[in-house]
Structure 1
Amino acid sequence: MPFVDISLARGKSPEYLRAVSRAVHDALVAELRMKPDDDFQLIHQHNQDEMVFHRTFRGGPRSDDWLVVRVTDGLDRGKRAKRRFYRTLVRLLQEGPGVRPEDVFVMMTRSGPEDFSFAGGVIATDVGAAETLDAAAENPGARAAYTTAEMTYALTDLFERRDLSRIRPMLRGDIVLSLPSSLPYGGEFTGLEWFEKLLTGTPGGDEVFESFTIHVDQVIEADGHLVVQLTNTVVPKATGKPGVIRNLWLFEVTAGRFTSARLYADTAAVAGLAG
C-alpha cells in the first residue's frame, strides 16, 4: 500500500508529469510487488528558489530538473527489493520522460498498515484482512491457521454484523462456549451449531430481548487469547425499556484457530434488565 509524493521543478508539461507518474508506478509494481490498482500519488511542483539541494553531495552533478520521490510504504520490502526498485525507477524515468539518473532522489519510509485508512474511516489492517480472507474463501480448506489481524477482523465482523462467513473457517469443530450459568441463557456448549446459534442470534432468543445491538469497543491480543470488549444496547422483553450491558468475550487461540470462547458479563445487571 505505498503512497507516493513526487516533487519537481514547476513548468513541466502534463505529458511529462504523466510519464513521471507512470514510471514511478511501474517500478513499484515490478519490484515491490505492488498491486497495479494500488495507485495513489501527489505531484508537487516548486519554483526553483523553493528547491534547496547540493549539486554534488553523494551523487550528481544535479541539474535544475532535480526530482524527489518519497514512498511511504506499509510493509518492509527488504534491502534487495529496494535496491532493485531504485535501479528500475531510474531506468524507467530516463526511458520515459527523460529524467537524468543523477537527478533522481528517492526516500522510502515505512509506516505500518494501521497508519493507513483508504476511505470510510476503515483501518487498513481490516481491509487487508478482508482481502486475504475473501481470497481464502475461494479455496475452502486451504488455510490451516490464521493471523491475529485476520482473526481480529473476523471477530469484529461477527459481533457487529452477525456475519459468520469469515470466522467459520477459523473455528475448531469442537469449540467450547461457556456462558455464566446465572444468565437466562447460560451454560456450556460444544460445537459449531451452538456457536452459530448463540453468537448470531439474540441472546436467549426473542423471549428475553426485543432487540440486542452490539458495538465492539476493542479487540485485545493477550497471551494466546483475543479479548472482545462489547457495549450492548438492549430492549428487554419484560420492560420494553432500553438499557446498556457491557461485557467481554475471551477467545482462546491455538495454532491459529479458535478453540474456546467464554463470556464475562455483569450477570446481575443482565438479570435485572431481563426481568
Structure 2
Amino acid sequence: MPLTRISLRAGQSAEYRKALTEGIQRSLVEIFNVPKDDIFMLITEHEAANLIYDRQYLNIERSDDFVAIQLAVTNSRTLEQKKALYKRIVDELAESPGVRREDVFINLVEVAKENWSFGNGIAQYAL
C-alpha cells in the first residue's frame, strides 16, 4: 500500500518518469508514513488524443504537461494529512522534474485494509 497510477502524455524521458515516481514516493514516506520499500507504481503514457482533460476547470490553466496521479490507499488518514500530501507532491514535482503546479492532478482512492493482497493470495493487512 499504496498503489500509485501516473498518467501523462507520451514522449517524456525515463529520467522525467523516474523523477515523478521518486517525488511521489518521498511525499508518501514523509506525510503518510509509508515504508520506503513499499512502492508499487504504474506509469501509463498516452497519445495526445487519449489524454482528455479540461484545460481550465476551476480556473486552473493546464498545459500539455498535465500529469494525473491516482493513489489507492487505506482509509486511515486525516483530512490534514491528505491536504499535506497534495501540497508535498506538488512541491516535489515542481522541484524535479519541473512540473507546473497547475498541471498536477491528484485523486485519492481510499479502501479498507482487507482489500489488499501483496502476493501469495493472502490479505496481509486484514485483521
Q: TM-score range by the shorter chain?
A: over 0.9
Deviations 1:145-199 (A, max 9, x none): xxxx2xxxxxxxxxxxxxxxxxxxxxxxxxxxxxxxxxxxxxxxxxxxxxxxxxx
Q: What is the rounded CA distance, in whole Å, between the counterparts of 1:125 and 1:2 in structure 2?
A: 12
- TM-score, normalising length from structure 2? 0.96
Cα distance, 1:54 vs. partner? 0.8
**2:64 aligned partner:** 64
SS of the equivalent of 1:43 reads strand
Alignment check: 8 A CA contact 1:4 1:42 kept: yes
**1:42 aligned partner:** 42
Deviations 1:33-85 (A, max 9, x none): 11111110000000010011111111420001100000000232110001110
**1:3 aligned partner:** 3
Unaligned stretches of 5+ in structure 1?
A: 127-148, 150-275
Alignment check: 8 A CA contact 1:115 1:124 kept: no
- TM-score, normalising length from structure 1? 0.45
Cα distance, 1:11 vs. partner? 0.2
Amino acid at match of 1:30: E
**2:121 aligned partner:** 121
**1:92 aligned partner:** 92
Bigger radius of gyration: 1
**1:80 aligned partner:** 80
Whichever structure has more strand as a proportion of its residues is 1
Superposition map of 1:103-252 within 5 A: 103-126=103-126, 149=127
Amino acid at match of 1:123: A
Structure of greater relative contact order (alpha carbons < 8 Å, 6+ residues apart) = 2
Deviating above 2 A after TM superposition, structure 1's stretches of 4 or more consecutive aligned residues are none
Unaligned stretches of 5+ in structure 2?
A: none
Q: What is the rounded CA distance, in whole Å, between the counterparts of 1:59 and 1:43 in structure 2?
A: 27
Q: What is the rounded CA distance, in whole Å, between the counterparts of 2:99 and 2:2 in structure 1?
A: 22
Q: What is the rounded CA distance, in whole Å, between the counterparts of 2:57 and 2:94 in structure 1?
A: 21
